[in-house]
Structure 1
């Protein structure tokens, strides 16, 4: 972060606290008693008479010694190069024809065997590095980066078009902002949180980038690499050995199969979330350590001056403020983690949760009014329904479809449950070794409160696991390596431990599970060249507007097509989900829907959507060909585009009437200003400024009478402002719901 911190020896887990008193990290035996007895009343530390047997040398290795390759290091480096060659060279030979042969297990069903062997060798190399007595930082880092690139860059390299339909749709948000410079909440609920799209459009225009398809191609790999930076910062807060830290980050990488890393507000705000919790736990935990029969699982707070802490506080506030207008869910997870850390005594920013709660409430109550106004019960009716939200997000997604493809869904459940079970075991093993873990427990289990909000379109389980993963992965690393390794006894135990073998087995399971869970949906999440050509045809014929009918098994809940939709002209193209007949002979309903859609309407039969219906719903493998044959027999229809991936129809005789003009709705933000709303808005501005100043004073000003007076007076002044704001929000929700 560019802040001056004390340089620590490799393997040392204690840093200087606020009082600049070194701490001895030893078990609570005779060594701990002697360590504490060596600290005098004045805080001075007496030098020990002689180093304990087996203690690490007082002088660190020179840079030349650290860079000098060892024979095992050379061997492992060669094995790493071999793993990458085995992984990538055969995979580069895959073409569109090979990808078309994917089965119910997805991409792994067509990957060459050498590629799978290369993936396993990546795991072997990393686990072997954990067995070494010395920390090979460079080789560990290179293996970790190679693993991230290999896992997440594979579709970007072998597929012709960038993957995932929703990533293409998000390009349409940028296109609209670039053309009009505005947001239109009536077009899509995501326009009530336009922050990510506005910033992305500004950056793209500033850089002169007009075609963003390559951006969405490489975005998942890039953002996964960026996730590592805050994770490396986060592990500095752990009182753990280097093996546990590296293993925790490694498990995080191997468990990143949730698939929210595409070009989206969620993928970007997740990066902000990781940076938020890392800064919070490294610099803003309670500075004092209470000695008892159990030690805190966290290391001492990194030393920082008051000016530096004030800057870091503003960074925290900025990170949170950036997520509020960008995503619906992430600010609530940030707020929950911070509030619980304050409650369990692991954060000294006691007033920050109130500030953040006010900011979220103001944005939802005022700026996101189009999102909840008029359908309040539909949006918030699931609040408190934990059981229904869990069942919708887990068992509700494993229904019907191909029996082979169901293995992908079961694999996801088993992987998530396995990582969480390993995290619980890590907490137990740390407890058994006289360490108490609180911060990581908060990071792991606070996201589960999301089940009490709503099902989030059936995706809440995936989001909960994604937000729980940083804490769960680090606890899983502690399950394998619970000792800190700073005493001779612990280092002796580590030398004969079989934990690296357990890490190898866990890594192989997670690697194989990743390839199934992450790329199991690739048969229909992959974007085909013919589908891109078909959408370009639609955009060329969308003047003044066009209706595009696509096949869905559920026109109410399943409204996201598997196609590169919405990348342009989002206000001109209306995507109409149309019920796909289970019997392909019954095409009269499709013809009627096309007539009801009006003039300038098209019906698209595309390969990705058909594959989804076959794998996830259970339509037969011959359904597409029979459907197209029956549509060809209808005299009312004519084909306007045919290629290897798409067949598109329209009516020979267009229905009477004019083609409707696009009506995107009023420009946002749409705020209904009543007298109560005006008063509440003014109170919100004053309250946010006062609470922010209060936290800055708490951190930047030395404790004393003046600081205490300011904190007390600002608290009492903020209460009436808070009451006015709450009354205004209640009035808005009650009158406009």
Structure 2
């Protein structure tokens, strides 16, 4: 073991920052604890030497059996089988051997934790096989790529390919176009013209990519190999939130994981002196000044890439960094100010089209913790099928269980004389998001997702709190009940994953007939078209369950139309179709109807009765019918011309006033100055000149900061 994993019982205290930076020589490594017995160790027999090898071969064969049990029956599922999904979603039609294979994957991993030594290759293969099996299931067995919003994001790429521009008035996400612009550029550079297969495999690929920063992150832990592998395993088994589809959130979450990993491995306070309570973090990875400058540039680049790509992720990054600096766990003391300037400058200037028209939506929820929690948790468990409610309850129980186990992990580490700080920051800083806004009722899901890296690692410390440095500690971990507890926890998590992750699959699955119907709409959208779809709440439920928006986003208007609870009362639908004007259609699709049945509580016979009543109306005619969609139009089109497409002016749309110009220049100067200041602090050898430059740059930055804040306030007050 290296010095980063060595236990020492001498007293320590944290070296306080005096404002000066000095090079500290590395302390010599402390040797491992001497064996308890003075007798020389008994040489191992050939059977004892071969036992770990034979166990590894046996577990490798067991892993192959698990994958065969899981995938062979699952590959036999057809569209007719998927149509039988009930309120619990995909798990309701999975064959029993597939469920047994998922359980056997857990058994293999837990058994590897029981072995006396670390089988890295087999642990990694089991972990990758678990990720692929849990996340690739719909990609393999479903005909079309899943999830409506993933299809909608293809429309952003389509618009960039056709026009080369962003239009903030068309969609709020155009105020944060970074992800879509980068994806369109990479697609054009690689010659990709059809992204449908990319959105099919994106969730699996991005989940596998998440493993890389997680393996880097565990290097900062002073823990045993069992705790580190178990922490990543819990992270994998708890990745049911569902934000990994082709989206800015899924991509910037990867940036977030890399950001916190680099921050905690290389930029923590480098010097500690031991006392009775040992730090839970290992020593900082050794680097020279040039390497630290490169790593600092990586941190700034990761944050800069997330700012124009997503609304929420930069604030979580900033919060984690700021708290680490405040508690003395990061030496990058000037970086929070730099990042705060970057994100507020983007919102204040580049995202003006959004907040100037949605000021209350953006800031109205700030401080309303109770209301945001209620709308994100209890507000989502209302109405609908009693069976489907179990999916929502399972999500709450899984999230609460992981967080409770994380708290127990912190307590167990205290009992073993370790103190955790960095993992607590990663776990609980995301909960500040409840004080921002409800995020469309999804803030609880986002909070748990961002808290999961820290919570998963703390939960692993609840099972394996020792560092495993000495032979005595390693033997205690092996013969304890911890591997058994890991097995039980893994079985609960994998079963809960299949319910929580794929419980919405009856209406999140995309049907082939729905894709064909949308192709019909795109073929008739010249100059524009209005597509009416059935919603239970036309103000809050504005995301249809269908592959919408993949093309011609400026030409097709998707109009949520109130679905009558009594299918006889179709007059409102006819009236809405007339009010929509010429070249308008009403779509009744199976995924949206399934959503109304499972999540809202519409009856199982509602759809056929609705179609019968629509067919009886002489004003309507069917224009398209297949197994998944029935689409209507008026027999006699309303008078008037079909309006032309009007996406609005090309962005970014910045209202330039004298104050705005001065504020933007001050922001640019601040970003350059603060970036240079941090590079000098990290890359230049400490001395009198460096100290003087840092002090003078600090005093010069204060008036720039004041001008920037004044211009920002002036913009918010006059342009909202």
What is the TM-score of this pair, normalised by structure 1? 0.93
CA contact (8 A) 2:6 2:31 kept: no
C-alpha displacement of 1:166: 0.1
Query: Are the equivalent residues in 1 in contact too, given 2:7–2:32 (CA < 8 A)?
Result: no
- Aligned residue for 2:534, secondary structure, equals strand
- Who is 1:652 aligned against? 635
Distance 2:27 2:226 in 1: 32
1:491 deviation in Å? Answer: 2.5
**How many angstroms does 1:293 deviate by?**
1.5
Q: How does 1:486-565 map to 2 (within 5 A)?
A: 486-565=469-548
Unmatched 5+ residue regions in structure 2? 12-23, 42-47
Q: What residue number does 2:668 align with?
A: 685
1:376, distance to aligned residue in structure 2 (A):
1.3
8 Å CA contact retained: 2:349, 2:654 = yes
Matching of residue 614 in structure 1 with residue 601 in structure 2: no
Aligned match for 2:239, one of 256, 276, 283: 256
2:176 matches 1:222:
no
- Structure-1 residue corresponding to 2:682: 699
The residue that corresponds to 1:406 in the other structure is 389
Q: Does 1:25 align with 2:7?
A: yes
The question of whether the paired residues in 2 share the 8 Å contact of 1:27 and 1:434 is answered with no
Corresponding residue number in structure 2 for 1:421 = 404
1:188 aligns with 2:176: no
For residue 52 of structure 1, report the CA deviation from its aligned partner: 3.4
CA shift for structure 1 position 292: 1.7
Distance, in Å, in 1 between the alignment partners of 2:492 and 2:452 is 17
- 1:637 aligned to 2:657? no
Find the counterpart in structure 2 of residue 103 from structure 1: 86
Residue 290 of structure 1 deviates from its aligned partner by 3.0
Tell me whether 1:715 sits opposite 2:698 in the alignment.
yes
Q: Which residue of 2 aligns with 1:345?
A: 328
1:602–1:121: structure 2 CA closer, same or farther, 3 Å change rule?
same
Query: CA distance change for structure 1 residues 142 and 623 in 2, over 3 Å: closer, same or farther?
Result: same
RMSD: 2.0
Alignment of 1:85-484 (within 5 A): 85-484=68-467
1:81 aligns with 2:91: no
Aligned-partner Cα distance in 1 for 2:322–2:237: 29
Gaps of 5+ in 1: 1-8, 16-22, 30-40, 59-64
Q: Render the CA deviation track for 1:603-627: whole Å, top value 9, x for unaligned.
A: 0000000000000000000000000
Greater CA drift, 378-387 or 645-654: 378-387
Would the aligned equivalents of 1:602 and 1:648 in 2 still touch at CA under 8 Å?
A: yes
Q: Distance in 2 between matches of 1:406 and 1:324?
A: 36
CA contact (8 A) 1:392 1:455 kept: yes
TM-superposed CA distance for 1:141, in Å, is 0.3
Find the aligned partners of 1:502 and 1:240 in 2 and give their Cα distance: 18
CA contact (8 A) 1:26 1:486 kept: no
What per-residue deviation string (whole Å, max 9, x for no partner) do you get for residues 61-88 of structure 1?
A: xxxx999981101110110000000000
Deviations 1:537-577 (A, max 9, x none): 00000000000000000000000000000000000000000
- 8 Å Cα contact 1:26-1:487 kept in structure 2: no
Does structure 1 retain, via aligned residues, the 8 Å contact 2:351–2:652? yes
Q: Deviations over 1:259-282 (max 9, x none)?
A: 000000000000000000000000
Supply the distance in 1 between the matched residues of 2:37 and 2:598 (Cα, whole angstroms).
Answer: 59
Are residues 697 and 42 of structure 1, via their aligned partners in 2, closer, same or farther at CA, if it must alter by over 3 Å? closer
| Aligned residue among 576, 581, 595 for 2:559 | 576
CA distance in 1, matches of 2:339, 2:50: 46
* C-alpha distance in 2 between matches for 1:308 and 1:47: 27
Which residue number in structure 1 is paired with residue 19 of structure 2? none
Distance in 1 between the 2:29 and 2:355 partners?
64
Cα distance in 2 for partners of 1:197, 1:321 equals 15
> How big is the shift at 1:489?
3.2
Distance, in Å, in 1 between the alignment partners of 2:25 and 2:187 is: 58
What are the residue-to-residue correspondences of 1:63-78 with 2, within 5 Å? 70-78=53-61
> 2:45 matched to which residue of 1?
none
Matched residue of 2:647: which SS?
Answer: coil
What is the Cα deviation at residue 291 of structure 1?
1.7
Question: Structure 1 pair 448/48, CA: closer, same or farther in 2 (3 Å)?
Answer: closer
How far apart, in 2, do the equivalents of 1:704 and 1:555 lie?
Answer: 64
Structure 1 residues 450-494: Cα deviation after superposition (integer angstroms, max 9, x where no partner): 000000000000000000000000000110000001124323322
Evaluate the alpha carbon distance shift between residue 143 and residue 174 of structure 1 in structure 2; reply closer, same or farther with a 3 A threshold: same
Counterpart Cα distance in 2 of 1:264 and 1:49: 48
**Judging changes above 3 Å, is the alpha-carbon distance between structure 1 residues 44 and 582 closer, same or farther for their aligned structure 2 residues?**
closer
Match of 1:34 in 2: none
Are the counterparts in 2 of residues 594 and 601 from structure 1 also a CA contact under 8 Å?
Answer: yes
* 1:377 Cα deviation from its structure 2 partner: 2.2
Which residue of structure 2 aligns with residue 3 of structure 1? none
Shift in alpha-carbon separation, 1:419–1:47, aligned structure 2, 3 A: closer
**Structure-1 residue corresponding to 2:707:** 724
Aligned length: 702
Shift of 1:375: 3.0
Whether the aligned pair in 2 keeps the contact of 1:547 and 1:573 (CA below 8 Å) is: yes
Q: Matched residues in 2 for 1:468 and 1:597: separation?
A: 44
Q: Give the 3-state SS of the residue equivalent to 1:70 in structure 2.
A: helix
Q: Over residues 409-441 of structure 1, what are the superposed CA-to-partner deviations in whole Å (9 max), with x where a residue is unaligned?
A: 000000000000000000000011000000000
Indicate the residue corresponding to 1:665 in structure 2: 648
CA distance in 2 between partners of 1:711 and 1:434 (Å): 39
Is the 8 Å Cα contact of residues 395 and 500 (structure 2) preserved in structure 1? yes
> Any conservation in 1 of the 2:113–2:478 contact (CA below 8 Å)?
no
Kept after mapping to 2: 8 A contact 1:257/1:517: yes
Give the drift of 1:24: 3.9
Report the Cα distance in structure 1 between the residues aligned to 2:504 and 2:468, rounded to whole angstroms. Answer: 42
The verdict on how the C-alpha distance between 1:668 and 1:54 changes in structure 2, with shifts beyond 3 A counting, is farther
